[in-house]
Structure 1
């Protein structure tokens, strides 16, 4: 009887559709439009391979929307606001953090997914999750942890992301981790391509991958799905452009040398000519905006050609191709290589950045050595389950603890432990 229907039941009726005679509303039309625009080679939430720990479907969100929301509500995602890539977080509020970077990646990923008829929600979830395993201090922190962990299974930020979302996030009574769908787990670990090439075995994988019980189910030999490939290219577009923006804003880069670069120089010159009386901040923002647009258009053009040639008729058929379908054109690859060489020479190896990175390595390495030798200084919950100083299990727990730190917390923790007056 209609009088017995609860409010939640009404939501279920709207989303999933009761008897055919019912008049369709806006929710039905939105879902129908999504189904019409999603290509056969896209991942479909209704056809997901499911979660490692079965759970009832949500009445209000599909499986990939639920994954996105779990990522957003995770502690690892919140900590991204205090982690940076080139600049250390306490150097100033001007520069991108991994949180703002992830949001920029998700915006670009949704645009690409919509145009390529992929699943926007899955692309967004993957974009928001792709940096969850990064330690403090960007790639310098990662290199230092990899060095310290070389005898204990190694460290890789991508593998650490899998570890975070399947083990380290403890939020639910039934399981550890976020219990994300197979498609999200697969996309997170393989967004840069297959993890096992010809002749490689599981011995070639970072330990944190094979520690995940279901790692073989993720099919490490194949490419990731369309949405993960989209997230990877969105990441490239976002970080190349925000490095230009942050580099110019910080004074480590100057516009004049950029004018010598292909593509980048053309766009900066064109913007200057169009807006000769505008301040440099406006010129920078407008040029970066145009660069992002050009790169997105290039990905769409090249990916469209590849999809037309390959004609995959399912998400699995797309995975099993011997090449990615989402890619830059050859010309854009050359332009980006020239840009990266310029950024490497003039920004990433600038003496001011080198000083920050030198400090970052010392902070990370000294914290690791102290914790490993004297785990009693760690919080009680981190000590739980440790097997004693210097053991592999203790080293992994120390690594997990440091990898979860923000830049600022790591600096303050180092001060507390290595500067006596810090406690007085």
Structure 2
């Protein structure tokens, strides 16, 4: 069996009113996610380009919706082609639920906001987006409370099924409680959530001994692949629409830039990669707009004009961009492979074929290196880092709790412990949208641009 009764259990037992036989457990979790404030707030968090620049660009919410759909599509395909290997179908709804929440823990201003919060939390358990996702689902969201506090905390978050919580555990390791100030970001889950993680493992592994290495459920693996596909395709599409990238710009990339991207791809695929191999991906991608070679001068001019026209079409023509994106998503989904694990069904392997994985990583790493590190995007990120740091320091300062909403202030005042108070501040700041963070900061620093009558 792919699923057992333990998978459907929740940290807090459901009431008779909630125990609706006709509503599947994972469908109920999907509904709780969609109706949560934490899920809605993703609409105010930047994906690559700030939302105020254009309604076209993706934000964390629309990105998560796309990841959810791709994840469900992967599950549908695996259920069709691997039906003989599966004792029962993989739950597409559970994979979609994991896609909806995979970025729910991201703070304002993306990875720079993440690094700013981690810098303030290095002595108190750190900060990391995936760890915050689990914390929101299992602690912070205001859906359920424990009758008896678990690990000193009575909050049970959305009270999702253990198998649903397992689907967001991308990194099966606890973040150290204290780290050096110059240490990089540590991925995992917070030590405070270890009792929850231990229970999740016991339930999804059906009481069997925990195998060596990090565990990742089949639904988590599907969600992770869907996230990579969405990043590789749709960040490129947004970049083409914005004009930050064109086929001409990509194909004319200098060797230094290609080598830098190749190094990042090497880390992901685990083998040497050179610039020419990387460029072959784009040559194949844009082959329809690359004219044939000609020795005739007039023919060369015509070919040049056609190349420029084709390059421009990917930025200006929505039909052309959509066709390219659809082809890539379909190609990548068909490159997913499944291996059933009879001993640990929940840990069955899902992965991309090597050639597909390479192409996904090339598109993802090239776009990231070209756009995220561009001065125009970096300028906004730098501002975000300063905003997040300023807000945190104001709240942790003398009488900083007076700047907090009532419910956050009440929790802050529950303990004098510095770590507890720092985590309370961190949770509050991490939950801010980009716009809310900017407004909050303006009320701290500006000369009266924001109204005192607007609630905090």
Aligned pair 1:178/2:140, yes or no?
A: no
The question of whether the paired residues in 2 share the 8 Å contact of 1:268 and 1:287 is answered with no
- The 3 A distance-change label for structure 1 pair 207 and 50 is closer
What residue is the counterpart of 1:160 in the other structure?
A: 132
* Alpha-carbon distance in 2 for matches of 1:52, 1:105: 26
Q: Deviations over 1:4-39 (max 9, x none)?
A: xxxxxxxxxxxxxxxxxxxxxxxxxxxxxxxxxxxx
1:259-274 residue pairs with structure 2 within 5 A? 259=251, 261-270=279-288
What residue is the counterpart of 1:133 in the other structure?
A: 105
Aligned pair 1:51/2:10, yes or no?
A: yes
Q: Deviations over 1:193-222 (max 9, x none)?
A: 5437xxx99998866353353221233854
What residue is the counterpart of 2:440 in the other structure?
A: 413
Aligned pair 1:352/2:376, yes or no?
A: yes
Q: Deviations over 1:42-93 (max 9, x none)?
A: 346x662511111153233111111111111111001011111222333332
* Alpha-carbon distance in 2 for matches of 1:317, 1:62: 20
Look up the SS of the partner of 1:213 in the other structure.
helix
Aligned pair 1:286/2:336, yes or no?
A: no
**Aligned with residue 404 of structure 2, among 356, 378, 396:** 378
The question of whether the paired residues in 2 share the 8 Å contact of 1:149 and 1:155 is answered with yes
Look up the SS of the partner of 1:161 in the other structure.
helix
- The 3 A distance-change label for structure 1 pair 87 and 312 is same
* Alpha-carbon distance in 2 for matches of 1:95, 1:409: 19
| TM-score of the aligned structures, taking structure 2 as reference length | 0.73
- The 3 A distance-change label for structure 1 pair 201 and 134 is closer
The question of whether the paired residues in 2 share the 8 Å contact of 1:43 and 1:226 is answered with no
- The 3 A distance-change label for structure 1 pair 423 and 412 is closer
**Aligned with residue 213 of structure 1, among 195, 198, 216:** 195
Q: Deviations over 1:139-159 (max 9, x none)?
A: 111111111111221101111
Aligned pair 1:110/2:147, yes or no?
A: no
**Aligned with residue 398 of structure 1, among 414, 425, 431:** 425
Cα RMSD of the aligned pairs, angstroms, is 2.9
Q: Deviations over 1:363-405 (max 9, x none)?
A: 1111111111122211222111324899222211111111111
Aligned pair 1:228/2:220, yes or no?
A: yes
- The 3 A distance-change label for structure 1 pair 189 and 209 is farther
What residue is the counterpart of 2:117 in the other structure?
A: 145
What residue is the counterpart of 1:337 in the other structure?
A: 361
Aligned pair 1:79/2:41, yes or no?
A: yes
**Aligned with residue 195 of structure 1, among 157, 173, 176:** 173
- The 3 A distance-change label for structure 1 pair 383 and 332 is same
| TM-score of the aligned structures, taking structure 1 as reference length | 0.78
What residue is the counterpart of 2:334 in the other structure?
A: 297
Structure 2 unaligned spans of 5+: 80-89, 147-154, 179-185, 202-209, 253-278, 292-305, 452-456
Structure 1 unaligned spans of 5+: 1-39
The question of whether the paired residues in 2 share the 8 Å contact of 1:88 and 1:137 is answered with no
Q: Give the total of aligned pairs.
A: 365
- The 3 A distance-change label for structure 1 pair 105 and 337 is closer
- The 3 A distance-change label for structure 1 pair 381 and 61 is same
Look up the SS of the partner of 1:326 in the other structure.
strand
The question of whether the paired residues in 1 share the 8 Å contact of 2:143 and 2:159 is answered with no
Shifted more, 246-255 versus 256-265: the winner is 256-265
* Alpha-carbon distance in 1 for matches of 2:290, 2:431: 43
- The 3 A distance-change label for structure 1 pair 341 and 159 is closer
